[in-house]
Structure 1
Amino acid sequence: MTKIKDPATSRAQTPRMARLPSPAMLMRAPHRLLFFIGAGNLLLAMLWWALWLGALRGLWTPLPPPLPPAWLHALLMQYLVLPSFIFGFLLTVFPRWMGQPELPRRYAPVGIGLFGGQALLIAAACGWTPGLWPGLLLALAGWSAGLIVLGRVLKAAGPNRNWHARACYAALLLGWLGLLLFMAVVRGHATLMPVTVALGTFGLLLPVYLTVAHRMIPFFANNVVHGYVPWRPLRWLAAMWALLMLRLLLSALQIDNLLWLADAPLLMLSLQALWHWWPRGPMPGLLAALFLALAWLPISFALYLLQDVGQLLGHPQLLGRAPLHALAVGLFGSLLVAMVTRVTQGHSGRPLVMPAVAWFAFVALQAVAIMRIAAELMPDAYAWHFAAAIGWLLALAPWVVRLGWIYLSPRRDGKPG
């Protein structure tokens, strides 16, 4: 009779050297490499931003960057930091969504482009101007490589109409266009900067986040909540996409007095989804974090709608960038911590629980989001911006260190990947 080996015993019998962290582990799965790069990009981009905000407080005198720092901040966060995680996730799940084999190791150029591009752009932001264009071109090359790899998966799937995959790919194409437009901004077409920001927010990030949430959140809840009824009608996703494209168009054309036409129904549809998705019974902490993060979606659009009302009443930019940062820090940041933690736990052979370090990052990030929103209403806004940037670093640094260790280490259960 064949004996079944206990995984714990197998691990104990594995030579210690085989279980030590190694850079070679990063190439075992797309999420390992891209999440590792995303974690590094996350801290580096915010460290530079915190240093710049500190310089505005007179703490030191930096070398002048080649572009307005706010532009570079938007570029790094929208087109390099969060997309590193997005590509890592999609390169992992695209083949599974469409019944294709796992990807061969062709995703290294994506990581090289996103990490190398950001490194050069941060060097340019710190005053080394020659790094600007090589950084932009390397970032675009990484994006292009990712689109090619994912496009091949879509093509191989043939008539498989996986609308979630196609929607995510469409959002990535809009993101690629936004990065291209930023290059035009650098060439002197400054009027395109609002279009670039709008594409990053309403063309790339929010469509990807909502599409993934529509597919995965009900699936996660159905697996662990007794009696849960999954709700994910495609008509809801199609309506959200249509409204986001309207929001994108109005934002890009700066027709601010009509933004309520998109924001009001986006608020209502956000509340509808949260109501249907939220479990009516007890749920594990990892799932609770996902739903608490999703609560920022209607909060963000409520702030956008309040800003729209102010615009109609003759008070433009009533809340400044508070609605944008409710999305960026509240929704995108919180969901990033919750979703990346879940993927990392599951794909490293660990229990599907929210570790203490992840809870610390998640809770602290809620405080950072509130600080960044409140900053728009304070007399010394940049002091609050600086405090929020420091808070971001303190909140996420321990979580990032833990992630890096896991991605460099073998799976705990001894399985490949």
Structure 2
Amino acid sequence: MLQTTFESGISPRNLVQAPHRLMFFIGAGNVLLAMLWWALCLFSTRWPGLVAMSPPPVPAGWLHAFVMQYLVLPSFIFGFLLTVFPRWMGLPSLTRWHYLPVGAGLMGGQLAILIGACGWEAGFFVGLLMAVAGWTAGVVILGRQQLDEQGATWHARSCFAALVLGWIGLVSFLVFVLGGSPFWVMASIKLGTVGLLLPIYVTVAHRMFPFFAANVVPGYRSWRPMGWLGLVWVLLVAHLVLELFHAYAWLWLVDLPLLVATMVALWHWWPRGRMPGLLAVLFIGMAWLPVTFALYCTQSVIYALTGAFELGRAPAHALFIGFFGSLLVAMVTRVTQGHSGRALVMPPVAWFAFVAVQFVAAMRVAAELLPDAYAWHATAAIGWLVAFVPWVMRLGRIYLTPRVDGKPG
């Protein structure tokens, strides 16, 4: 009776009860809006007689990369970090006045940008300014947490360093829109991938995955050497520099060590005994990271030997859909279940989303080698929407209702 009573109390006020509620709700909406727009763009390119889309103010592929890297995934990232930074550092929890500006900037910014991409040019620029404002608020708030901490939490510092690189990438895109050379938009895209998202995902995995496993797998031995995380950072920075200077023939020099490093981590982290589904999806999603670096290595070696840029965007989409997408479902489901007072299990809609993402990732990677690539790209975009819609609807209801156990938060 208590659970039914609490679940019936749907109200927007519940969104501001905790950072993850608001930011995950925004992220859930952003991910569907962004992919709906992108799917329509792909359909209009492949079947122009079926769907007509106005050309956006910048090339659609660049805008797609920008929105996914700086608005969709960061909505979830800020929700997570604004929740865990005070816990990691032993500081008081943040109030709604800390995270409301971040949420308003990321939600309003993406909505205005996408409306602008459909024809409202002024909205496009307004959306960029809102995104910069929301991002700046988040970076300043989390930076203040760093200054207030007594001691040093290196996982928090690693995430914050990635956020600073992400902020630079965000501003770089704005510089391009204001008339800068295409170098700035390319720098923005590369910074978003290798400077922002990859370090944060890897850092959170390094801190949390062994911790989660140790709590439920008897005899599990945690493996979290900080030297490993430092090595990955050095290699990712080297990868970033090589990409910025288009030195694709030499990427294998850093991507091969990254392949080895991620395989070593996965081998150490993967539990040897039985594990619940909510834990298994973390390591299955993590397995996409060595796959990504194997593809990058192959692409680089082929380019060095032949000058041909084979595989196209296959490595990037193994990373974005396979790694980022899988762990998005896995981590957001885990945080949502735990912080709403529910059992730590994978509900059916989360299983559906996770499994579907595996198929979508494989489809998008294979599309680079198949005829009629744009048809496969469009199909993959629709597959993403099919995978996420039921999951997002369930998340939305949870964030709009109080915890089922009656606790605050």
TM bin, normalised by shorter chain, reads over 0.9
1:61 Cα offset (Å): 1.7
The alignment partner of 1:283 has SS state of coil
d(CA) in 1 for partners of 2:236, 2:160: 16
What residue is the counterpart of 1:6 in the other structure? none
- Contact map agreement 1:37 1:84 (CA 8 A) in 2: yes
Which segments of 5 or more consecutive residues in structure 2 lack a partner in the other structure? none
What residue is the counterpart of 2:137 in the other structure? 145
What residue is the counterpart of 2:40 in the other structure? 51
The question of 1:351 aligning with 2:340 is answered no
What residue is the counterpart of 2:9 in the other structure? 20
1:62 Cα offset (Å): 1.6
Letter in 2 for 1:230: S
What residue is the counterpart of 2:28 in the other structure? 39
CA RMSD in angstroms, aligned pairs only: 1.1
Residues 24-103 of structure 1: matches in 2 within 5 Å? 24-56=13-45, 57-58=47-48, 59-103=50-94
What residue is the counterpart of 1:378 in the other structure? 370
> Structure 1-normalised TM-score?
0.95
Gap change, CA 1:193 and 1:23, over 3 Å in 2 = same
d(CA) in 1 for partners of 2:306, 2:121: 41
- Contact map agreement 2:2 2:404 (CA 8 A) in 1: no
What residue is the counterpart of 1:114 in the other structure? 106
Letter in 1 for 2:67: L
Match of 1:184 among 172, 175, 186: 175
- Contact map agreement 1:96 1:102 (CA 8 A) in 2: yes
What residue is the counterpart of 2:408 in the other structure? 416
1:19 Cα offset (Å): 4.0
What residue is the counterpart of 1:175 in the other structure? 166
Deviations 1:232-288 (A, max 9, x none): 100000000000000011111111121111101000001000000000010000000
Instruction: Give the total of aligned pairs.
Output: 405
d(CA) in 1 for partners of 2:198, 2:309: 21
Letter in 2 for 1:224: V
d(CA) in 2 for partners of 1:151, 1:183: 22
What residue is the counterpart of 2:187 in the other structure? 195
- Contact map agreement 1:333 1:365 (CA 8 A) in 2: yes
What residue is the counterpart of 2:149 in the other structure? 157
Letter in 2 for 1:41: N
Match of 1:294 among 286, 293, 296: 286
The alignment partner of 1:313 has SS state of helix
1:132 Cα offset (Å): 1.4
Which segments of 5 or more consecutive residues in structure 1 lack a partner in the other structure? 1-8
The alignment partner of 2:187 has SS state of helix
What residue is the counterpart of 1:360 in the other structure? 352
Q: Once the two structures are aligned, what percentage of the paired residues are identical?
A: 62
- Contact map agreement 1:36 1:407 (CA 8 A) in 2: yes
- Contact map agreement 1:194 1:251 (CA 8 A) in 2: no
The question of 1:219 aligning with 2:208 is answered no
Residues 211-290 of structure 1: matches in 2 within 5 Å? 211-290=203-282
The alignment partner of 2:306 has SS state of coil
Gap change, CA 1:11 and 1:267, over 3 Å in 2 = closer
1:358 Cα offset (Å): 0.1
> Structure 2-normalised TM-score?
0.97
- Contact map agreement 2:232 2:261 (CA 8 A) in 1: yes
1:314 Cα offset (Å): 1.4
- Contact map agreement 1:329 1:368 (CA 8 A) in 2: yes
